[in-house]
Structure 1
């Protein structure tokens, strides 16, 4: 009975962990990436809409296409998150809010765009209303959704990496019982070894070791998926979003035409999140590829700060047209070009660490591959060996 219980507990436990690695962990990882993608798309849409508004009249085609691409990407990411959630979870209310408010935001942007094309000052009010909706309702809802999916990922990873204590303890108890039976038979029959029981004991020992080693290896890979994948991705995504917010604040400061002190303060805070503690410098201990991308992004952030200082000097000095050109121009010294370089470095680092996450989760699944079948085979050998060993002894007394 102990052998049957050990085999059943071991096989079921391993199968559950494999399902968690291949299903829950992978699914939660995909949802977390989709939530990050949603946040990034909405933040970039807000920044791009503000930059396009600055150009006045008919906005550049590139900015219009970028905004439309962001909204489409946000819709696709939202669809992934909505379809992937089982319902009743912490982030469901956030999903409902995003679905309801996103069309309102795009409507306000289109109204601002229409008034701006006509040269009507009312467009600025609509754009500020849209940006306020984005910052006060949409992005906080996406943040709540991201935290919910991250929590689900941590829970799934913890369950998948749990040590199979129950099955291992049953296995050890089975080994102890087999040893006791062999000692008893040795005293009664004066025979040191019973081939069947020795084989059963060996099978039980291999089963316990296999269960323990595979669980430890899988847990190590899952820990690596967090340390080398999801954690750096979350950190880099946070920096990228802060940079996007800074970009939007920079544009809104100019749109406000002398009344943008609040946006400038927000810009300073957002850039502190990029260049200060917890920002890009905190990624310096990552792997070489991530470290290289973070260093390149840090250099672009410093260039941006210098270019922004020059932009503010132009605007404060009454040279508004030149300040706008410095913000949305295509030259290498414009803040738009510098920001794009910064964003590309961060995007590359995020993609790299996302691949590391997928690789480590795959290795965790590999560590468990075949263990469930192996446990069943070993449990069968254990039961057969024990039955043959005891049957042989019974036959000797007939």
Structure 2
């Protein structure tokens, strides 16, 4: 009857004994064991293991720095072509289309009645081009959202004012000129300012990406050069210790490390050269020529608005003089076209710019006659000189100048695109090649040392 109770007591005592038993304590590392580990590290094979691990670590870091760096710079080079580069082109097209619409609307107004179909079509094409460019910039992720929203909101207001001015002009009401001046004021004071801000933002982003693509991969180069020096020193040390001239593994690793450094350095130099050429032969010239074309468009609008104002357009005439002075300065050096000619690296572009300079001078001469006719009371004669189809009219000369500048912009823009493509192409194979060479490098180091370490076992 009492045996179960005794069994339970026994189990309870056993459990308590386990709970109260002292925990197993690992015996402390004895000084002799520490000395043994230290002795192993200080031994010849131990030192080999330490050097091998250091070389493997440096080689891995050099490979990672090269692969990641080349991948990032390749992304920047690609973005400069298809990302920020395309956005900058669209922002520039937006500004040009808006400027041309303003000039065309002013010229068409001088027709007094139904404007020529050619001018009407040009104005509508400009508005459509501006709308398409604005959509492209917005969908492309442009950074200046406020400028996009401003243009989107005010462009319909501008076109509405132009249509009102056109309607009154067709009916012969003088109030139409007031609406046209209000439309032009909105264009110049708001729309073009926002478009310029948008272009500046995208041009800055483009330059940043190009600078990133051309940046010196200093970390990868420093690690690579340090690795080559370390491998050479390690090979000499092993040669003295083992009395063997060559270590196949370390020799292969050294050659791979040299290839990595040379490939990285030469690749950077090639990319930097292409980026520099893209800026020098393309983007900088495009910017000067685009500014010149816009200045010509602004001057053309000023010329027409001076006539539209019928005696109260002194401000427009003053701005015309400023814009033409911006194109070709009297000292033949500081004007936009003068600077574009000096910056031209292609003889054909220089010839085109020379033609543009001649057109500007011819335009100035016709404009003097135009102003003399208007100031002398011959308004119809002044209008004829402004919009007539004769070879010596301001319209003919301006159209020729605009075509010349458009041709030069296309030519230099194509050079910029090609150089950008060459820069992006120079990164070809670097990422995959970097991974492969890093694996071969690490294998060579490990193999070279393992063979020698095994001889001590």
**TM-score bucket (shorter structure):** over 0.9
Runs (4+) of structure 1 exceeding 3 A deviation are: none
Considering only CA atoms, is the larger Rg found in Structure 1 or Structure 2? 2
Contact 2:147 2:194 in 1 (8 A): yes
Q: Which residue of 2 aligns with 1:366?
A: 425
Q: Which residue of 2 aligns with 1:314?
A: 373
Say whether 1:281 aligns with 2:342.
no
Q: Which residue of 2 aligns with 1:375?
A: 434
Q: Which residue of 2 aligns with 1:55?
A: 111
Tell me by how many angstroms 1:24 deviates: 4.0
Matches within 5 A, 1:120-159: 120-159=173-212
Matches within 5 A, 1:1-398: 1-85=57-141, 89=143, 91-276=144-329, 277-285=334-342, 286=344, 287-398=346-457
Distance of 1:353 and 1:17 partners within structure 2:
24
Contact 2:295 2:324 in 1 (8 A): yes
Contact 1:233 1:350 in 2 (8 A): yes
Contact 1:97 1:141 in 2 (8 A): yes
Higher mean displacement: 321-330 or 237-246: 321-330
Distance of 2:289 and 2:141 partners within structure 1:
25
Tell me by how many angstroms 1:309 deviates: 0.6
Distance of 2:282 and 2:261 partners within structure 1:
31
Distance of 2:326 and 2:87 partners within structure 1:
25
Contact 2:80 2:420 in 1 (8 A): no
- 5+ residue gaps, structure 1, are none
Contact 2:81 2:417 in 1 (8 A): no
Contact 1:218 1:364 in 2 (8 A): yes
Distance of 2:440 and 2:127 partners within structure 1:
60
Q: How many residues align?
A: 395
TM-superposition CA deviations, 1:93-121 (whole Å, max 9, x none):
11111111111000000000011011111
TM-superposition CA deviations, 1:108-139 (whole Å, max 9, x none):
00000011011111100000000000010011
Tell me by how many angstroms 1:165 deviates: 0.8
RMSD: 1.1
- 5+ residue gaps, structure 2, are 1-56
Contact 1:39 1:143 in 2 (8 A): yes
Tell me by how many angstroms 1:25 deviates: 4.4
Contact 1:245 1:267 in 2 (8 A): yes
Contact 1:25 1:157 in 2 (8 A): no
Contact 1:283 1:290 in 2 (8 A): no
The TM-score normalised by the length of structure 1 is: 0.97
TM-superposition CA deviations, 1:210-258 (whole Å, max 9, x none):
0011011101101111111111000000000000000000000000111
Distance of 1:25 and 1:185 partners within structure 2:
50
TM-superposition CA deviations, 1:264-284 (whole Å, max 9, x none):
001000000111223111122
TM-superposition CA deviations, 1:305-333 (whole Å, max 9, x none):
11111111111111101111111111111
